Structure 1
Amino acid sequence: MSKAPVKNDIELQLSETHFFQLLDLIYLGNWMVTACSGVEDEHAQEYTDVEKQMFSHAEPFLEKGPFHTLNSEVMFTEEHEDSLQDIIGEYDNEVFWEALAYRMAKRDVIEQIGSTKEIKNEVFMQIFHREMDYIREFETNGIKRITIPPLQ
C-alpha cells in the first residue's frame, strides 16, 4: 500500500510591512550567497530562484511598494536597492576592519611565540588583546599608519 505524497507547501500570514522586510532579508541573503560565486554555481542559482519566486508575490504591491518590473520579473527599484547596498557597504566595512585586525594580531602573536598548530586559551587571549589594540588603532587612524614595504 503506497502512501499519498506529502505536500510541504508553507503558507505565511504577514503584514505588508513584514512582507517587504522579508524581501529585504531575502535580497540581502541572496546577495551574500551570490556575491562571490561564479555564474555556473548551482547552489547560488537555487537561492536566486527562491528570491525570484518570493518577489513574484510582490506583484500586487507594485504601486505602493519599492518595486518595479523588468522583463516580467518583479524586483526592487534602483533607489531601494541602493538603500540595501548601503547596509551591505556598512557590513563590508565592519568585516574588513575586524578581519584585518584579527589577521594582523594572529600574525604578530605567531611571530612572537612561533608557529601554533593548536591555539590554546592563553594564545587565543594574546591574539584577542592584540586584535583589540589594532581595532582601536584603526578606529583612530584608519589605514594612515599601515605601511607595506615596496613590492618587488
Structure 2
Amino acid sequence: MIARPVKAVVLLFPITKKYEAFCKSEEAEIIRSGQTVSPDLYFVRQTIPNACGTIGLLHALINNKDVLDLRDGPLFRMLERTMNKTPDERAAALEADQDLAEMHKLSSVDGQTEAPSADDEIDLHFICFIEKGGNVYEMDGRKPFPINHGPTTGDLLMASKQVQYII
C-alpha cells in the first residue's frame, strides 16, 4: 500500500519516436493556445546531460517545500538564489552549484547498476508530476515549460489517468 497523500510522482520511461512526435505537437499546441500555469510552480530546464533523474527530484522536492523542512542545506540555498529566476537561469545556477553537483554525482553512482557516463546516449527519461493549485503538472526539464494537464481531485496517483499517453 502507498501512503497518502502522494505529493509527487517521478516516472522513468523509454523515449520513443512516437513520444517525441507527441511532445512536439503538444508544445506547438500550447504555444498556439496558451495554458494557465500556477505562479507558485518552480520549473528548471535540464541542461546537464543525463541529469533528468536529478531534475525530476528537484521538481518533486522544491514544489513541495511547504510540506518539507528545507530550512538548510544545498537545496534550500539553491531555492533561495533562484526563486525569482527564469527556468534557464535556474539551469545555469544548477550547473554552477558545486554542492548539488556533488550530490548528483554521489547519487547517480549509488545502487546496483553502473551509472552511465554523462556523454552516453540514453533512451530512458525521468519526468515528475506534481499537483499545484488543484492542477496536475508535468515537469520535464527537456521541455521549455511545465505542462498543465488540468484539474485533479488531490490524489496524484489517480491523476495518472490524465497522462496515460506516456505509458
State the TM-score bracket (shorter-chain normalisation).
under 0.3
TM-score normalised by L of structure 2: 0.24
Higher strand share: 2
Q: Which has the higher contact order (CA 8 A, sep 6+)?
A: 2
TM-score normalised by L of structure 1: 0.25
Higher helix share: 1
